[in-house]
């Protein structure tokens, strides 16, 4: 439990004892009581809204409640002062010893500091990337990949049992396009000169695949009709693409535990089973849809078709399950996919999707509601676009010619750590600028380097301190860390567990990047105090005890930074 929640529990207890004493009426709602760090540090260490929240239900003035609580809160361990402020805030001040003890917590836990049990080991499925296996990954996929991976790590840190999953769209027309494109490259590898017709994939990445098949199978697929080679090329091409994609992901440090196949859902009867299941609960019917609004498709004609009652679950229209040729729609397979996830034991699902899937969210949520009878939850995180820039100028990409900026290009250019960190410096639903020039810069403009620099600087001090740092810091006299800036830094470290919990609950890994930046800034500030006042430098040659205490402090900073970077999947650097 984070320290704010511990105090919250103590405050709720105090309220209950006032109820016992008859000062407050029984049956008060305590759910809205919060304990937070005050925005303004001069207000103290903790602030609670308890008196204001209870004012109305208790039919008492907030300040009167606050006055009644004051002696009880003042008697709590570690509390040095209780102040009532503004409309009824209660501000608590804590002893330096309390904060110094938190530093010991950090050192004792190491990078496990911040690990939480709020998740209760609940199973969460995070589906991310799920790029169509028709080519290498490009930068557009990158942000979602990093986001999903960091979110997974964050949820794990918060105590959830996370499964990282990739949904492979290996069914449908695009796979035929891929297979035909691959066959063309195969013919090319056997000496034919080819032209790539409109509608097939022109990218060079298919050349090695064609060559490999030519080498393995010779002219086996050259003279037979398409009906014979197509199934084989479908499988070969998908497999090869998935190898490529896994390599791309590995370059970013991303490994999925589960790859689910759309085709397998069809072949294994899951689609039929899922739709039957819905039909048995009257969630499927045959009806006629209104024509789509906006731009009217040329070939629209109203006709009866199999529909899912998505409107019962908040969607705008009911959604088709079968195409005119009798095949299942993509959405039907998606229903089956989530039906399958639920049956695999996932009561919590998170889908990380690209910006172009915004219109898909309602029907997905409807599907999850339907297949789980309302028991499962789905959160869909839409990842907005990344604008690739170089010195403020847009980087040109042409998807048609097959020459787009690949994920691998970017990782090779600036490195995995930079890509990952930058991708998390904006919340997922806002667009993000990725400027190569800025990202290569080693300055404060570049948040990655700023945070890394703090970590490296700490290591530099440790090296400088030599023998003192070599000894264990466990027994350091942390009570000597009594400067306001030192205590402020400890407070920042001590808020890490709370941040982990709130970021995990909100599914917002970007908060970690911002937090680390703040911690780094606070450390750099303390460092510079030592420039003006030599007595505040970490290493004090004439006072090994004080040196050890301060080294303990900055080791704590390095530990929390490392702990946060670990969640983001970024390697802390020791030296710069």
Partner RNA sequence: GAUCCCGUAGCUCAGCUGGAUAGAGCAGCCGCCUUCUAAGCGGCAGGUCGCAGGUUCAAAUCCUGCCGGGGUCGCCA
Q: Are 442 and 510 within 8 A, CB to CB?
A: no
CA 50 – CA 71 distance, rounded (Å): 15
Q: How many CB atoms lie within 10 A of CB 58?
A: 21
CA 51 – CA 66 distance, rounded (Å): 5
Residue 548 Cβ, how far from RNA at the closest point, in Å? Answer: 13
Residue 343 Cβ, how far from RNA at the closest point, in Å? Answer: 22
Closer by beta carbon to RNA, 126 or else 189:
126
Closer by beta carbon to RNA, 183 or else 266:
266
C-alpha distances in angstroms, 513 versus 42, 109, 424, 565?
26, 21, 6, 8
String of DSSP letters for 185-196: HHHHHTT-----
Cα angle value 330/333/336 (rounded, 5°)? 155
Closer by beta carbon to RNA, 207 or else 511:
511
Residue 354 Cβ, how far from RNA at the closest point, in Å? Answer: 8
Among residues 406, 434, 37, which one has the least CA distance to residue 252? 406
Q: How far apart are the first and last CA of the chain?
A: 36
Count the alpha carbons within 13 Å of 136 in the hemisphere toward its beta carbon.
Answer: 25
Pairing of strands 377-383, 386-390: unpaired
Residue 386 Cβ, how far from RNA at the closest point, in Å? Answer: 11
Closer by beta carbon to RNA, 261 or else 372:
261
Residue located via tokens 């309220």: 15
Pairing of strands 319-320, 304-308: antiparallel
Closer by beta carbon to RNA, 211 or else 536:
536
CA 29 – CA 23 distance, rounded (Å): 16
Closer by beta carbon to RNA, 213 or else 333:
333
CA 25 – CA 59 distance, rounded (Å): 9
User: How many residues does the structure list for the chain?
Assistant: 576
Residues near 265 by beta carbon (within 8 Å), at least 6 away in sequence: 271, 333, 336, 337, 340
Residue 217 Cβ, how far from RNA at the closest point, in Å? Answer: 26
Q: Are 533 and 527 within 8 A, CB to CB?
A: no
Q: Are 238 and 178 within 8 A, CB to CB?
A: yes
Residue 297 Cβ, how far from RNA at the closest point, in Å? Answer: 5
Residue 215 Cβ, how far from RNA at the closest point, in Å? Answer: 29
Closer by beta carbon to RNA, 359 or else 484:
359
Residue 16 Cβ, how far from RNA at the closest point, in Å? Answer: 19
Residue 47 Cβ, how far from RNA at the closest point, in Å? Answer: 3
Buried b (16+ CB within 10 A) or exposed e, 266-299: beeebbeebbebbeeeebbeeeeeeeeeeeeeee
Residue 535 Cβ, how far from RNA at the closest point, in Å? Answer: 10
Residue 454 Cβ, how far from RNA at the closest point, in Å? Answer: 8
Q: Where are the beta strands (DSSP E) in 384-422?
A: 386-390, 393-394
Count the alpha carbons within 13 Å of 490 in the hemisphere toward its beta carbon.
Answer: 30
Residue 435 Cβ, how far from RNA at the closest point, in Å? Answer: 9
Closer by beta carbon to RNA, 411 or else 513:
513
Closer by beta carbon to RNA, 115 or else 433:
433
C-alpha distances in angstroms, 362 versus 167, 313, 319, 322, 467?
19, 8, 11, 19, 61
């Amino acid at each position: 439990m984070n320290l704010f929640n511990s105090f919250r529990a103590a405050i709720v207890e105090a309220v209950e004892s006032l109820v016992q004493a008859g000062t407050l009426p029984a049956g008060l709602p305590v759910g809205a009581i919060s304990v937070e760090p005050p925005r303004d540090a001069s207000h103290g260490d903790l602030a609670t809204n308890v008196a204001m929240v209870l004012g109305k239900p208790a039919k008492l003035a907030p300040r009167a409640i606050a006055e009644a609580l004051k002696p009880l809160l003042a008697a709590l361990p570690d509390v040095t002062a209780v102040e009532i402020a503004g409309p009824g805030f209660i501000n608590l001040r804590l002893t330096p010893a309390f904060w110094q003890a938190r530093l010991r917590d950090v050192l004792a836990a190491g990078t496990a500091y911040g690990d939480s049990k709020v998740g209760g080991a609940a199973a969460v499925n995070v589906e991310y990337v799920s790029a169509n296996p028709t080519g290498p990954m490009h930068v557009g996929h990158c942000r979602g990949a990093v986001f999903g991976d960091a979110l997974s790590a964050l949820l794990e840190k918060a105590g959830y049992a996370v499964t990282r999953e990739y949904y492979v769209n290996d069914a449908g027309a695009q796979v035929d396009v891929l297979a035909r494109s691959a066959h063309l490259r195969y013919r090319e590898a056997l000496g034919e000169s080819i032209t790539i017709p409109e509608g097939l994939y022109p990218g060079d990445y298919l050349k090695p695949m064609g060559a490999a098949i030519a080498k393995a199978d010779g002219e086996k697929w050259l003279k037979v009709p398409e009906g014979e080679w197509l199934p084989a090329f479908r499988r070969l091409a998908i497999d090869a693409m998935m190898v490529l994609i896994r390599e791309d992901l590995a370059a970013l440090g991303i490994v999925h535990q589960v790859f689910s196949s759309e085709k397998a859902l069809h072949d294994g009867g899951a689609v039929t089973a899922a739709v039957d299941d819905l039909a048995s609960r009257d969630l499927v019917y045959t009806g006629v849809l209104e024509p789509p609004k906006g731009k009217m498709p040329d070939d629209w004609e109203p006709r009866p078709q199999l529909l899912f009652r998505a409107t019962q679950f908040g969607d705008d229209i009911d959604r088709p399950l079968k195409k005119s040729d009798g095949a299942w729609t993509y959405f039907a397979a998606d229903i089956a996919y989530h039906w399958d996830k639920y049956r695999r034991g996932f009561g919590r699902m998170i889908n990380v999707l690209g910006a172009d899937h915004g219109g898909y969210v309602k029907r997905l949520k409807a599907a999850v509601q339907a297949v789980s009878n309302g028991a499962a939850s789905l959160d869909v995180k839409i990842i907005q676009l990344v604008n690739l820039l170089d010195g403020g100028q847009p980087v040109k990409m042409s998807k048609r010619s097959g020459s787009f900026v690949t994920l691998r290009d970017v990782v090779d250019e600036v490195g995995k750590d930079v890509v990952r960190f930058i991708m998390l410096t904006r919340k997922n639903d806002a667009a993000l600028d990725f400027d190569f020039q800025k990202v290569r810069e080693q300055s404060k403009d570049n948040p990655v380097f700023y945070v890394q620099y703090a970590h490296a600087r700490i290591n530099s001090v440790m090296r400088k301190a030599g023998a003192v740092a070599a000894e264990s810091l466990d027994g350091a006299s942390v009570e000597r860390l009594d400067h306001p800036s030192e205590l402020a830094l400890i407070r920042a470290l001590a808020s890490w567990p709370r941040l982990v919990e709130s970021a995990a609950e909100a599914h917002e890994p970007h908060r970690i990047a911002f937090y680390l930046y703040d911690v780094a800034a606070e450390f750099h500030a303390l460092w510079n105090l030592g420039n003006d006042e030599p007595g505040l430098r970490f290493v004090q040659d004439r006072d090994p005890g004080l040196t050890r205490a301060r080294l303990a402090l900055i080791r704590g900073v390095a530990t929390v930074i490392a702990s946060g970077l670990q969640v983001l999947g970024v390697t802390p650097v020791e030296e710069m």
